[in-house]
Amino acid sequence: LYIDDGRDMPAFALNRPIDFQPGTKWLYSGGNSNLIMGSLQRAAGAEGDSLPWQLLFEPLGIGDPSSRQAVFERDGAGNFIGSSYVHLTPRGMARLGQLYLQDGVWEGRRILPKGWVDDARTLNDAQLQKGHGSAYEDYLRSEGPYSRRGFWHNVPLLGMEHPFPDAPEDMYFAAGHYGQLLILLPSQRLVIARTGHDAWYWSKINSLVTKAIACFAD
């Protein structure tokens, strides 16, 4: 994100060498999201600049492009940065989380494709592939369980116990740089939206979730 060659971020990611066949290994990489966002923006043509608002933000009542309630930063070539730099209020984050709790339907309208939320709650298949050696398995344990749709999970992986032992096993969440969190707890019918700047936020997720459940869950 921060080097000169990354000015056009999708192009930068597209020009990296392919180290392994897609689907055979999992590595945490913002370049994947930048490629997807760049492809969507180009496929939309003239409507590409308003695509996030048309498809997601406006239907959720988060705002239109002029309202500044949802800010989507761009790279030097004008591409939306798919991996980072989406700014929402906590209320806007909570609405996005509620959309997932409602299986992608908002006020009777399907916003996310059918099956999308199920994929968000399903472990990425590549994390279950065998035969890549102990170093790779150690890497997976250090990063943690990850879903098909870009969410972290709270399930055992490769002999590792639940990453957040006191939180519900069905918890899944999105984590932003230095502590922005959108935590979804389907069994509790609860969404937690957290902003801030905290380099040690990951170690506090377990406590945050258990305290929120104690305060607000049914």
pLDDT for 207 equals 97
- pLDDT (tens digit, 9 = 90+) per residue, 63-77? 888 888 899 999 999
Res. 217 pLDDT band, cuts 50 70 90: low
Output the pLDDT for position 129: 86
Long-range contacts of range 135-141, CB-CB < 8 Å, 24 or more positions apart? 136/25, 139/27, 140/26
The whole-number average pLDDT for the span 124-130 is 89
Distance, CA of 161 to CA of 173 (rounded, Å): 17
In this predicted model, what pLDDT tens digit does every residue of 82-112 receive, in sequence order?
999 999 999 999 999 999 999 999 999 999 9
Instruction: Show the tokens assigned to 94.
Output: 């909570």
Mean pLDDT (whole number) for 134-153: 94
Global confidence as pTM:
0.93
Q: What is the mean pLDDT of residues 133-158?
A: 93
User: pLDDT per residue over 152-171, tens digit each?
Assistant: 999 998 888 899 999 999 99
